[in-house]
């Protein structure tokens, strides 16, 4: 990480923990085996390493080792879950339910399913980003095969009522998939006890390497099946063909092991730092809102709107010294305002004046103080030049 640069974009990706890097290094050169090679010790050792990592991740999720399917990342896992269920259970029905605030890695496959003859219901959220459980239950039809609701939102950190959703799905005999990419390793995520049948996660959101993820697929009560989206060898129990990324998987396992140990202490530390950031900005600036503040949230995520302070312009005032974002990294090329905030009822002009601060394992209190100072200066500077702010100060109703 660059010196003097403050990194508060952990929801886009996290730096690898040094212990994760150390665990991976031997698998690049000392142990070069393919985990599918069964005729020599190099292959055996690689398979043992993959098995150990599978156990480490399964232990974090409190599921069976055989229920973990390794992929290239959460996007692939999302696609495998949605498309795989749609194709496997097409005879039962072609209707799925998801939420307007899902990540693009869910919304785009849902769009793909609609183009292939499926029907998708997109649930609304309230001003805090939470779904209405009654709306969910009323949306379930005889031909519904899957409900897809993310565990915690990548832009706001808002945590959905997963257990309640699982109970509704169980009541109606519908499969429940959750993209838990932002939640795994940050809070307890236990799909089996929460009624989740499929779950996606990714190593690089929890201090592991990029390019490796996993899909949990329940094997009992009920046994869930998905149609493979990659063919070519029948790896990962015929659900995901391709040579396994042994170094990445080893790093994923180590990251999961570390998260299990550090999770509680990190939650408390990051919640304290985040609350201080929000309190200072809300107390020292007028017309500032924390989106999703009244909902259960991840401890490290803060989504803040600053009236009359364009987000991109505000970032430019930081002189490239602070890494934050205006929303999801996967949507950063779009000029459109955040679909998550718009779904929450945030006006377009306010959505364009919103920053996401995401803290992490290596964030310090000194860095938070520096960020507070920079944001205060930046917002004040932009407002001095803003006709919109002048109108507001003159008493014009802008809402």
The total domain count for the chain is 2
Residue 110 has pLDDT above 80, yes or no: yes
CA atoms within 13 A on the CB side of 298: 31
CA distance 131 to 185: 23
Tell whether 317 and 249 lie within a shared domain.
no
Tell whether 382 and 340 lie within a shared domain.
yes
Q: Which of 175, 203, 190 is nearest to 84 (CA)?
A: 175
CA distance 252 to 192: 21
Residue 268 has pLDDT above 80, yes or no: yes
Tell whether 280 and 243 lie within a shared domain.
no
CA distance 284 to 110: 42
Phi then psi for residue 306, to 5 deg, are: -120, 110
Q: What are the distances in angstroms from CA 227 to CA 177, 185, 211, 242, 348?
A: 15, 28, 22, 15, 40
CA distance 27 to 50: 11
End residue of a domain, out of 239, 257, 275: 257
CA distance 48 to 296: 39
Q: Is 1 a domain residue? A: no
Q: Which of 303, 287, 295 is nearest to 382 (CA)?
A: 287
Phi then psi for residue 156, to 5 deg, are: -110, -20
Tell whether 299 and 241 lie within a shared domain.
no
What are the tens digits of pLDDT across the range 226-253?
Answer: 998 988 877 888 789 899 999 999 999 9
Residue 143 has pLDDT above 70, yes or no: yes
Q: Which domain holds residue 95?
A: 18-257
- Pick the catalytic residue: 16, 201, 282, 330? 330
What are the tens digits of pLDDT across the range 352-370?
Answer: 999 999 999 999 999 999 9
Angle between helices 41-61 and 246-284 (to 10 degrees): 30
What are the tens digits of pLDDT across the range 198-222?
Answer: 999 999 999 999 999 999 999 999 9
Q: In this predicted structure, which of 173-182, 226-235, 369-378 has the lowest mean pLDDT?
A: 226-235
Instruction: Give the domain CATH number at 289.
Output: 3.90.1150.10
CA distance 225 to 79: 14
pTM score, two decimals? 0.95
Q: Which of 295, 335, 318 is nearest to 379 (CA)?
A: 318
Report, as an integer, the average pLDDT of 113-120.
Answer: 98
For residue 330, indicate whether it is catalytic: yes
Tell whether 192 and 62 lie within a shared domain.
yes
Angle between helices 104-115 and 74-88 (to 10 degrees): 30
Mean pLDDT of the chain: 95
Q: Is 396 a domain residue? A: no
CA distance 15 to 323: 13
Report, as an integer, the average pLDDT of 150-157.
Answer: 98
Q: Is 210 exposed, middle or buried (0-12, 13-18, 19+ CB in 10 A)?
A: middle
Tell whether 191 and 287 lie within a shared domain.
no
Q: Residue 237's pLDDT is what?
A: 83
Q: Is 323 exposed, middle or buried (0-12, 13-18, 19+ CB in 10 A)?
A: middle
Where are any strands of DSSP class E within 51-174?
68-71, 95-99, 119-123, 144-148
């Amino acid at each position: 990480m660059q010196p003097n640069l403050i990194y508060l974009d952990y929801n886009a990706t996290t730096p690898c923990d040094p212990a994760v890097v150390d665990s991976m290094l031997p698998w690049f050169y000392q142990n070069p085996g393919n985990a599918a090679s069964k005729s020599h010790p190099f292959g055996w050792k690689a398979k043992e390493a993959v098995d150990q990592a599978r156990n480490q991740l399964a232990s974090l999720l409190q599921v069976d080792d055989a229920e973990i399917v390794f992929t290239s990342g959460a996007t692939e896992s999302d696609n495998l879950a949605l498309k795989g269920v749609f194709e496997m259970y097409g005879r039962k029905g072609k209707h799925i339910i998801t939420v307007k605030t899902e990540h693009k890695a869910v919304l785009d496959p849902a769009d793909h399913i609609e183009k292939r003859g499926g029907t998708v219901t997109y649930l609304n959220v309230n001003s805090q980003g939470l779904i209405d459980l009654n709306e969910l239950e009323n949306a379930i039809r005889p031909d519904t095969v899957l409900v897809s609701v993310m565990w915690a939102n990548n832009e706001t950190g808002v945590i959905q009522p997963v257990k309640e959703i699982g109970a509704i799905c169980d009541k109606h005999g519908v499969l429940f998939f959750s993209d838990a990419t932002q939640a795994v390793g940050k809070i307890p995520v236990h799909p089996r006890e929460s009624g989740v049948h499929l779950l996606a996660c990714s190593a690089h959101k929890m201090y592991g390497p990029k390019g490796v993820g996993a899909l949990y697929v329940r094997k009992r009560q009920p046994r869930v099946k998905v149609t493979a989206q990659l063919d070519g060898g029948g790896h990962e129990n015929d659900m995901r063909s391709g040579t396994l990324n042994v170094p990445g998987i080893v790093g994923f396992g180590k990251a999961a092991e570390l998260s299990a140990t550090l999770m509680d202490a990190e939650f408390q530390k990051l919640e304290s730092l985040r609350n201080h950031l929000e309190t200072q900005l809300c107390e020292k600036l007028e017309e500032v809102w924390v989106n999703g503040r009244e909902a259960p949230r991840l401890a490290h995520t803060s989504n803040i709107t600053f009236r009359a302070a364009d987000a991109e312009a505000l970032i430019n005032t930081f002189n490239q010294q602070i890494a934050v974002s205006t929303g999801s990294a996967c949507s950063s090329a779009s000029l459109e305002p955040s679909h998550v905030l718009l779904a929450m009822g945030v006006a377009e002009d306010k959505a364009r004046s919103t920053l996401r601060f995401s803290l992490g394992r290596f964030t310090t209190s000194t860095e938070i103080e520096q960020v507070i100072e920079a944001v205060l200066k930046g917002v004040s500077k932009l407002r001095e030049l803003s006709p919109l702010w002048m109108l507001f100060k003159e008493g014009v109703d802008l809402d």
